[in-house]
Structure 1
């Protein structure tokens, strides 16, 4: 009989109106040996009051505030919760999503006695209430090249889907990047998959329900700010992989991504952002030929002077992007 402790880590910010459903779904788990660590990110509503009601009824729930010396945001809350955790297994979760009652039991059974370091399940996406189903987040959770597939968006899972061995996570140089406000899950899971050369467990069954709405912890409404963080995440990941023999698919992805964002900035006359992207990483992108770098510079000059220069980039066709 499995008795391993599972640590469920939840960052929360102003979730008083939603967190009850999340905590109810955790309390209803068929597997009983868990701790649920809620880390508040500075809520101004009744989130703490509601969580304390659960703590009075069930000591497996915990409430903690993000330390003032840690960065604001869900990433710092997730990392801090990990530092507090005592479980052999980790399940990060969000404060507005829902677990199917057998999630922990089924995934833990697959991990116990196996060589798998994590188990991933299917995710159902819903809007407003759990009866309003939009669909499955992604049907296929398997790839022969999981890193490349996750990089390009052909393989997707959300933060709530995996359960991880803590002993495996302890070997990572870092967990969630606390400077990122968007694309942080993608950046972290990409780093995991780049170094991971074993099979991981897949349960082709929906065990989690992800709520779709615009008021998530890490995503605001400013598309320019989000785009800047998407780019930053990819810059960081490129620096992480470039000296470790990245595959051809990986090189193509990064070259296409940075070039596309550069062209978009020029098109919408955001020349400062375009110039910064040109300096780093485009001109330093070791896989671009010199002639192409010259074209990038010439294209920017044309846009700045004449407000157009699309012809310079003609013939550069790319298929990519998972935002």
Structure 2
């Protein structure tokens, strides 16, 4: 780690390289500019000419080869923002090189690959984090506190929706069944799935459908998964890729329900009492402060601080559940995560 001046004080900062520098890679860099514990100094991308001007403006070292990053003593961590199918091998490369990893979701596409990567990173003494930035949204944190206090009673059911118009992905790397199995589940739905696991616990089994309805893309645009959780509560996860953006999580309990809308709104309806809506300004999509907080938490863990909110066990279970959804959509059968 390196020292960076903050007026008269110095703080140790985690020096990171980012692997993959498309739209989301640049959003990650923008968010990192507000992170005191981490700085991105290097960019690796397969099309450097497309981002050369940006990198020059922001004083980023640009390249198209990953190997120098892995061998570089000055690089503490790697932020992975590459196509989904590349994550598994890149995670293992980072583990073997002793680099801490912040990986965009999905972590991998199979549960076995996730466990292999997590085990390798742990064996190398590396911190592992995943880009579920919505865990850091203020409405999420407020709901977590309510549930911990038992304000909504016992869990009954949860619904998750993450939709977006993905027409812009046409002809891009996401426009592929290999990169986007089960429609928008790997690009969108995985965020909602993580939140459902966060708020409801592990998933026992899933039954999913995925089909094409109104899309010109190569992958499905209507994917729905019914979930049974280990606590016997139910759930339904929907992701559509041919409509307007929508993020919604509704947690139903015996004393009321609460709804997360986007990253900045929380609606609570108790069984007895009036409905309350709370807005949190400054968190409109893409919610840069939540991404900054995620990067800060990642760096803080590297520096010996608190654990990252998404545990390795949750990363493994979320990935296994994603794989179960994909397999269920293909087979039209009920599938248990990890089976």
Q: Same fold (TM over 0.5)?
A: no
TM-score (norm: length of structure 2): 0.30
The structure number with the bigger radius of gyration is 1
Q: Which is strand-richer, 1 or 2?
A: 2
Which structure has greater helix proportion? Answer: 1
Normalised to the residue count of structure 1, the TM-score between the two structures is 0.31
